[in-house]
Amino acid sequence: MPALPGVLPPATHWTVPAAWQAIDFISDLHLSEALPRTFEAWAAYMQRTMADAVVILGDLFEFWPGSDAVQLEFECRCIEVLRATARRRSVSLMVGNRDFLLTPALLQGIGVQPLSDPTLLLAWQERVLLTHGDALCLADVAYQQFRAWTRNPATQADFLARSLADRVKLGAGIRHASEAGRRQAPPAGGWADLDPGAAVACAEAAGATRLLHGHTHRPGMSLLAPGCPREVLSDWDLDDAPPRAEVLRLSRDGIVRLAPDATAKI
């Protein structure tokens, strides 16, 4: 029987070095030329943070058209921020639903560790299951069908066979639709969230004590089930009102949520 759409594969394990003191998590920055303040805030944070590691859980970019996007001015600036940060501390990245064409080879070439979705993080007696989150939004059937289509190797090959200019043009259309969506009120039932049963099953299968994800733009802590807490990362948008940007820091002392400019000390 084929797997249900949105069900995660077994988690890859990642044990952090014993000497580390703190790990920062961010996601859903949706970087693009249309959001200059967001880019500047992210670049400043990446230079300023004193955490041992920065973990990006998907949708760093609003749209990533393929590895040859490093030729483009804005995308090149973003890559240089990643490269410079990776020289000073660990940087890891898990692709999301907007930047899934970021390849492990490209990331490794700039010193960034690619993370599988999901990854079980083992740190300071914590077992944290990391995922972008979109694969567990099972109630959004149309999206899950679209996700399966876009992740099909044949679909990606057809897309990447187009010229970079054509792919960038398509990305601009996606960005405009996204900007319009940000201004819309949520539907009556709210935007799709993770399926609690599927999320708990994945956490239990991995032996996780906590689930940490992005995608939904609903930052906060909640219980998916007794003994199964989840932490949801904030999206970043410093170009619209109200401005949003938050870093979740995991350390030996627990979890704290910080403004990006408050990460310069442990």
More confident residue, 4 or 53: 53
Q: How many CB atoms lie within 10 A of CB 218?
A: 16
Mean pLDDT of all residues in 61-83: 97
Residue 7 lies in a domain: no
Residue 2's pLDDT is what? 38
∠169-171-172 over CA atoms, to 5°?
Answer: 65
Residue 5 lies in a domain: no
Residue 108 has pLDDT above 70, yes or no: yes
The pLDDT > 90 percentage for the chain reads: 86
Residue 118 lies in a domain: yes
Q: How many domains does the chain have?
A: 1
Matching residue, tokens 């609690």: 196
Domain of 191, in residue numbers: 15-262
Residue 41 lies in a domain: yes
Q: The CATH number of the domain where 149 resides is what?
A: 3.60.21.10
Encode pLDDT of 120-150 as tens digits. Answer: 999 999 999 999 999 999 999 999 999 999 9
Residue 1's pLDDT is what? 32
Residue 153 lies in a domain: yes
DSSP 163: -
Q: How many CB atoms lie within 10 A of CB 130?
A: 29
Encode pLDDT of 75-87 as tens digits. Answer: 999 999 999 999 9
What sign for the dihedral angle of Cα 60, 62, 66, 67? negative
Cα dihedral 220, 118, 3, 66, rounded to 10, equals 100
User: What's phi and psi for 218, nearest 5 deg?
Assistant: -125, 70
Residue 232 lies in a domain: yes
The pair of structure tokens assigned to 263 is: 């990460």
